[in-house]
Amino acid sequence: MQSTSITPWHTYFHYIPSKLPSKHSLHFKKTLVTHTHSCHQEQEKRTKQKDVYWQEMDFSVEKEKPHYRNDVKEQGVEVIVRSGIRSNSWWVRIKAALGQRINVEGISFSVGIFHKDKHLAIPHVFVQDIRYIDWTELKRRGFEGVVFDKDNTITVPYSLNLWSPLASSMEQCKSLFGNNIAVFSNSAGLAEYDPDGRKARILECAIGIKVIRHRLKKPAGTAEEIERQFGCKSSRLIMVGDRPLTDIVYGNRNGFLTILTAPLSLSQEPFIVKQVRKLEMALVNRWSSKGIKPISHWLLPDCQYCIKDELL
């Protein structure tokens, strides 16, 4: 994710002229009169002088403000005239930045999982990374396609390039499943944070895999968009991701075979994501130790058959 400088919401622009135009001094010379012996007349003159000053001051500011606004607009920032608040994209940028760290949909689904659906967070298979997945065995068992999460599953966080050590495994996966491979991410391809699809297109060119465009963040939503992409039921698809409460819950809710991977890199993750990840894994380990298991998948009752014992 690129760092973006954002003007805080409370910042205002107040125009203060550095000096009065020369015509002010000329005008004042014309309005100044000789003092009289009457204190009353002198007070009236001072009052009139102040009135003229502020009229000229207002005129000068109103005349020069448009130029100031044009200078700001030339910098690509839209200014609201009354308040002077930068409003072109600051809220969108804040929302996008927070959205990569706080998954509201994930939090709401977690409430139900904690109470009665703990099995949805338990993966069918856990591996270190996708190199330990036996793609040949999964294909032989009747699976027709693979859906990957992006960040920390096949790329390091916020990168748009495949993590290079995974290249051979990804090529083997492509050779077996052909075009039935796609990325389904809460970043690239998500309408809220990639509205023009730019990140999705860059990722597609970099790794040669289709990125599915969608509107709801995992674990929310159904598998309809993915099923249309693959032309088969989700029960014949594999969901691979690194987050139990998003990728795995989404996959289990919709009938996928779910494979949880360890994160590729923790050093580039935001602090809050690291803490949520620790909580997720602590819960999954606790529930697993109590015997909670995912619903058995009909194509692969014993999921250990799809794990490689060692890397070739």
> Dihedrals φ, ψ of 278, to 5°?
-60, -45
Does pLDDT of 16 surpass 70?
no
Distance separating alpha carbons of residues 69 and 10, to the nearest angstrom: 18
What is the average pLDDT value for the chain, to the nearest integer?
77
- Does the residue 5 lie in any domain? no
Looking at the structure, do residues 158 and 114 belong to the same domain, yes or no?
Answer: yes
CB-CB contact of 259 with 252 (8 Å): no
Reference 238, options 208, 265, 260, 217; nearest CA is: 260
Query: For residues 152 and 60, which has the higher predicted lDDT (pLDDT)?
Result: 152
Looking at the structure, do residues 90 and 107 belong to the same domain, yes or no?
Answer: no
In sequence order, what are the residues at sequence separation of 6 or more whose Cβ sits closer than 8 angstroms to the Cβ of residue 195? none
In sequence order, what are the residues at sequence separation of 6 or more whose Cβ sits closer than 8 angstroms to the Cβ of residue 96? 192, 193
Domain termination site, one of 41, 76, 94: 94
pTM of the model: 0.68
Six-digit token string for 208? 């040669």
Tell me, what's the pLDDT at 112? 76
Distance separating alpha carbons of residues 161 and 249, to the nearest angstrom: 26
Reference 182, options 205, 208, 211, 161; nearest CA is: 211
Does pLDDT of 287 surpass 70?
yes
Q: In what order do the strands lie in the sheet with 257-261?
A: 125-127, 257-261, 237-241, 145-148, 181-183, 210-211
In this structure, what CATH number is given to the domain that contains residue 212?
A: 3.40.50.1000
The helix/strand/coil state of 57 is helix
Domain termination site, one of 72, 94, 116: 94
Tell me, what's the pLDDT at 41? 54
Looking at the structure, do residues 205 and 231 belong to the same domain, yes or no?
Answer: yes
- Does the residue 312 lie in any domain? no
Domain termination site, one of 94, 114, 145: 94
- Does the residue 16 lie in any domain? no
> Dihedrals φ, ψ of 258, to 5°?
-110, 135
Reference 206, options 156, 264, 131; nearest CA is: 156
The predicted model gives 101-120 an average pLDDT of 74
Tell me, what's the pLDDT at 45? 53
Question: How are the residues of the chain apportioned to helix, strand and coil, as percentages rounded to the nearest 5?
Answer: 45, 10, 45
pLDDT tens-digit readout, 221-272? 999 989 999 999 999 999 999 999 999 999 999 999 999 999 999 988 889 9
In sequence order, what are the residues at sequence separation of 6 or more whose Cβ sits closer than 8 angstroms to the Cβ of residue 117? none
Looking at the structure, do residues 138 and 88 belong to the same domain, yes or no?
Answer: no
Looking at the structure, do residues 126 and 171 belong to the same domain, yes or no?
Answer: yes
Instruction: Give the pairing type, strands 181-183 and 210-211.
Output: parallel
Structural domain containing residue 68: 22-94
Q: Is the peptide bond before 219 cis (omega within 30 degrees of 0)?
A: yes
- Does the residue 3 lie in any domain? no
Looking at the structure, do residues 113 and 39 belong to the same domain, yes or no?
Answer: no
Looking at the structure, do residues 49 and 111 belong to the same domain, yes or no?
Answer: no
Query: For residues 187 and 22, which has the higher predicted lDDT (pLDDT)?
Result: 187
- Does the residue 7 lie in any domain? no
Does pLDDT of 190 surpass 60?
yes
Dihedral-angle region of residue 178 (phi above 0 means left; psi in -120 to 50 means alpha; beta otherwise): left
Looking at the structure, do residues 141 and 205 belong to the same domain, yes or no?
Answer: yes
Residue 208: alpha-carbon gap to chain centroid: 22
CB-CB contact of 219 with 231 (8 Å): no
Looking at the structure, do residues 39 and 163 belong to the same domain, yes or no?
Answer: no
Six-digit token string for 27? 């005008």
Tell me, what's the pLDDT at 111? 76
End-to-end CA distance of the chain: 34
The predicted model gives 179-192 an average pLDDT of 94
Looking at the structure, do residues 139 and 199 belong to the same domain, yes or no?
Answer: yes
Tell me, what's the pLDDT at 44? 54
- Does the residue 155 lie in any domain? yes
Looking at the structure, do residues 295 and 156 belong to the same domain, yes or no?
Answer: yes
Looking at the structure, do residues 67 and 120 belong to the same domain, yes or no?
Answer: no
Q: What's the total number of domains in the chain?
A: 2
- Does the residue 11 lie in any domain? no
Residue type, 64: E
Q: Which helix (H) or strand (E) holds 99?
A: helix 90-99
pLDDT over 70 for what percent of the chain?
Answer: 65
- Does the residue 113 lie in any domain? yes
Distance separating alpha carbons of residues 216 and 105, to the nearest angstrom: 8
Query: Residue 19: how many CB atoms within 10 A of its CB?
Result: 7
